[in-house]
């Protein structure tokens, strides 16, 4: 999986991410507000479903929440931080 937008285009609400075949792709870790490795890809749904795959760490994160509006609680980013902290 790779970025199909190229460096001249980006996702407006996701600095450091590109887009490839239906998923967001982490392209520049320094510009993101998240943890992961360059090449990590995934997507989130409207009701807080979320997944990501980090090939470098051989890691899959999957969170299947069902509440709206998305982003009301910081569960998704907190879960991701907890997962990466557990790797240390």
pTM for this prediction: 0.85
Average pLDDT of the residues in 69-80:
85
**Are the C-beta atoms of 21 and 30 separated by less than 8 Å?**
no
**Do 56 and 41 contact (CB within 8 A), yes or no?**
no
Tell me how far apart the alpha carbons of residues 21 and 4 are, in angstroms, rounded to a whole number: 8
For residue 10, tell me if it sits in a domain. no
User: Which helix (H) or strand (E) is 85 found in, with range?
Assistant: helix 75-86
Number of domains the chain contains: 1
Residue 69 or residue 11, greater confidence: 69
Flag whether 50 is in a domain. yes
In this prediction, residue 63 has a pLDDT band, given cuts at 50, 70 and 90, of very high
Residue 88, pLDDT > 90, answer: no
6 lies in some domain = no
Read off φ and ψ for residue 25, nearest 5 degrees.
Answer: -120, 125
Q: What is the extent of the structural domain holding 49?
A: 17-86
């Amino acid at each position: 999986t790779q970025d199909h937008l190229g460096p001249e285009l980006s996702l407006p609400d996701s600095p450091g991410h590109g887009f490839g075949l239906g998923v967001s792709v982490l392209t520049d870790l320094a510009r993101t507000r998240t943890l992961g490795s360059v090449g990590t890809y995934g997507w989130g749904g409207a009701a807080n479903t979320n997944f990501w795959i980090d090939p470098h760490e051989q890691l899959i994160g999957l969170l299947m929440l069902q509440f709206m509006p998305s982003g009301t609680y910081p569960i998704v980013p907190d879960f991701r931080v907890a997962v990466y902290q557990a790797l240390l």
